[in-house]
């Protein structure tokens, strides 16, 4: 029996988290990873600055050695930022850091999914609300002439603290939907029902950012912890023309004219 979770027969497919990445990413030509708060937003801010980003599953004992091996700065936890460790997963710290050329950016969701997809043969790109339109234009231009190509979109989601299970996060649904909606406007399809639902969710709130991002659960969480600027940066819809593309083990920026 054909895997029903693969969304076969559709050129644009959407699912959630690492397992969803395995399902819809199988056989995909391009996989867009979406983690709006905050991995892919941080990734697009880094791309705007020309910073090469190395995704890593999480900041454990091996992360420091990994950063040393690649002559890269290791991002710390948000609460650990100081003069010696100026960069975290917070996009605001990346924007204000000086002299950073290579960055190891751990994250349990978007970064983990990107690493998981690295060996599948698909081209992996980072998508946020900031660059969804540019990423869709970049994708459509590369795949328009081949009707057999497939684009998989993976919404990262968050993790419940109690048991580490997946929490579907509406900001990632909006980010995935912004990308899918832009692909559809380029005539790239057909969209799976899951992809259509994501696009519809984005269309419902388009024009109401940053307010809806501030009001969703993840936005309230970050604001409550003292990082409203990260939510504001994530809500910069369409400001970036850079598409972070995973080449080997790192993301490098491709500019869209």
pTM tops 0.75, yes or no:
yes
**Which phi and psi (to 5°) does residue 104 adopt?**
-90, 120
**Residue 99 region by backbone torsions, left for phi larger than 0, else alpha for psi between -120 and 50, else beta:** left
Helix, strand, or coil (residue 173): helix
Torsion over CA of 114, 120, 122 and 125, rounded to 10 degrees? 0
Binned average pLDDT, 10 residues per bin, the chain of 257 residues: 90 97 95 98 98 90 94 95 94 96 95 90 96 98 92 97 95 98 97 98 98 98 98 98 97 94
- Enter the tokens of residue 125: 């790109």
Q: What is the pLDDT of residue 200?
A: 98
Q: What is the pLDDT of residue 119?
A: 82
Domains of the chain, earliest start first: 8-49+109-249 (3.90.1560.10)
Q: What is the pLDDT of residue 60?
A: 81
CA torsion sign for 88, 92, 93, 99 is positive
With contact defined as beta carbons under 8 Å apart, do 110 and 39 qualify? Answer: yes
Alpha-carbon gap, residue 201 to 181, rounded angstroms = 10
């Amino acid at each position: 029996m054909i895997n029903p979770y693969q969304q076969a027969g559709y050129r644009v497919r959407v699912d959630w988290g690492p397992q969803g990445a395995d399902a819809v990413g199988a056989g995909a030509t391009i996989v867009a990873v979406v983690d709006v708060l905050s991995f892919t937003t941080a990734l697009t801010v880094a791309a705007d600055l020309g910073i090469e980003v190395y995704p890593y599953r999480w900041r454990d004992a091996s992360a420091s050695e990994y950063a040393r091996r690649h002559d890269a700065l290791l991002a710390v936890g948000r609460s650990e930022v100081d003069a010696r460790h100026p960069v975290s997963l917070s996009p605001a710290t990346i924007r204000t850091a000086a002299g950073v050329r290579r960055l190891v950016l751990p994250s349990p969701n978007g970064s983990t999914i990107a690493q998981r997809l690295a060996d599948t043969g698909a081209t992996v790109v980072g998508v946020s609300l900031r660059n969804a339109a540019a990423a869709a234009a970049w994708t459509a231009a590369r795949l328009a002439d081949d009707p057999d190509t497939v684009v998989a979109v993976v919404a990262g989601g968050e993790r419940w603290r109690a048991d580490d299970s997946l929490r579907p996060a509406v900001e990632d649904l909006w980010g995935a939907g912004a990308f899918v909606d832009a692909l559809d406007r380029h005539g790239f399809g057909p969209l799976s029902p899951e992809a259509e639902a994501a696009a519809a969710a984005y269309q419902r709130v388009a024009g109401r950012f940053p307010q809806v991002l501030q009001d969703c659960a993840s936005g309230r969480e970050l604001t409550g912890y003292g990082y409203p600027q990260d939510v504001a940066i994530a809500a910069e819809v369409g400001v970036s023309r850079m598409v972070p593309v995973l080449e080997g083990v790192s993301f490098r920026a491709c500019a869209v004219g």
